[in-house]
A and B are shown apart, each in its own frame.
Chain A
């Protein structure tokens, strides 16, 4: 079973992108995600309130620090911000799976890493909902999302470098990951400029 199927109905009076920037909205949506996975799989999580709050505060600080100045970058920043959220959740690790049903498939990522699965599910679902609500852009998913070998690599790598969670979330959502500097948001304008420069350099090389 893949992560996207666990998208709950996030209850929010205001747009989700705004709601999750407040602790109240973040916690409510996270609890809805926990409930949704538990209902579907029978898995039970225990969530530590203080760690969840610390994860939120850590995320908010990182989110504010690189918020783009130009509107053109807002859509790309949604994906980046979701990656920052995943990094903070993994770092503070607020959830603990206390009951794992016996009939689940051993090759399913949820069995391999139930807590990581919850964090990825939450971040992908928030990312998808915000992209849909604010930019009418559907979220895609890569096949590797259900591949337990990718999850091995994911778990091992984020333990060494938590910022790689940002790149892995890009990978899971079918985007091009930045494995070298995943924690640095690159504006669309800068990316276009870089592409143009490389193209021009390439043309010159081929002319010679």
Chain B
């Protein structure tokens, strides 16, 4: 038993039920997940029980979490929420969670969980505070900083003795790209999937600038403004 990591594991077990279900679903998705690896050394009846639990978790997870692309209306509403209202936080979280997931997938990351519960708490907290700030980019920067500081995006490895520092970089890019997506002024009949792809591409190409700016809300907001105009 590796005791120094016990607190982290215990802390992760206190996460809300939705995140637990999501984590289990992700665990069942990843071929070399710690849960799968561990199941090989277990006695057969216990292994079967774990396999069955993972299948059930996958089913529950699929019912609980939508994986599809949000529609245009949801995306516009998420942008409006970011701009001026605290109303619509669940929709904002759904849109942002999807966009972060796309950014992580694009970078070849596996076995991560985007905690919608933590995103919801951050959105409710930060957007209530920041309505005076007004601009989309300012609020996008505020949210990005808060999400990155909260570890709302984590991997299964984060729960185990070996950590995954590479997710920090991937998470920074994916989260920044997600909020950059909402900062862009839309044209008529915009292809939102393409727009998100461009945001991920641009953020990947500008990863040094993003890394530098992410420490300051003002710098990050200015970078979002600049990149949104470029796209």
Contacts and interface: CB of A to CB of B under 8 A. Distances in A.
Interface of A: 13, 22-24, 27, 49-50, 52-54, 57, 60
Contact of B231 (A13, A22, A49, A52): A22
B198 A27 contact: yes
Given A22-B230, A23-B231, A24-B198, A57 B205 contact: yes
Given A24-B195, A49-B201, 17 more contacts: A13-B187, A22-B229, A23-B202, A23-B230, A23-B231, A24-B187, A27-B198, A49-B197, A50-B204, A50-B205, A52-B201, A53-B202, A54-B201, A57-B205, A57-B206, A57-B230, A60-B230
- Interface hub of B195, B205, B229 (most chain A Cβ within 10 A): B205
- The 8 A-B pairs of least Cβ separation, nearest first, read A53-B201, A23-B231, A54-B205, A50-B201, A57-B205, A23-B198, A53-B205, A49-B201
Contacts of B204: 50, 53
Contacts of B201: 49-50, 52-54
B41 to A, nearest CB: 41
Contacts of A60: 230
Nearest to B202: A53
A57 B202 contact: yes
A7 B195 CA distance: 26
Interface of B: 187, 195, 197-198, 201-202, 204-206, 229-231
A27 B202 CA distance: 13
B112 to A, nearest CB: 20
12 contacts: A22-B229, A23-B198, A27-B198, A49-B197, A49-B201, A52-B201, A53-B198, A53-B202, A53-B204, A53-B205, A54-B201, A57-B230
B224 to A, nearest CB: 15
Nearest to B203: A53
Contacts of A13: 187
Given A13-B187, A53-B198, A24 B231 contact: yes
- Interface hub of A22, A23, A53, A57 (most chain B Cβ within 10 A): A53
A3 to B, nearest CB: 27
A110 to B, nearest CB: 28
Nearest to B198: A23
Contacts of B202: 23, 53, 57
A49 B206 CA distance: 15
Contacts of B206: 57
Nearest to B231: A23
Nearest to B195: A24
A52 B205 CA distance: 10
Contacts of B230: 22-23, 57, 60
Nearest to A14: B187
A46 B198 CA distance: 17
A5 to B, nearest CB: 29
Nearest to B204: A50
B200 to A, nearest CB: 9
Contacts of A54: 201, 205
Contacts of A22: 229-231
Contacts of B195: 24
Nearest to A13: B187
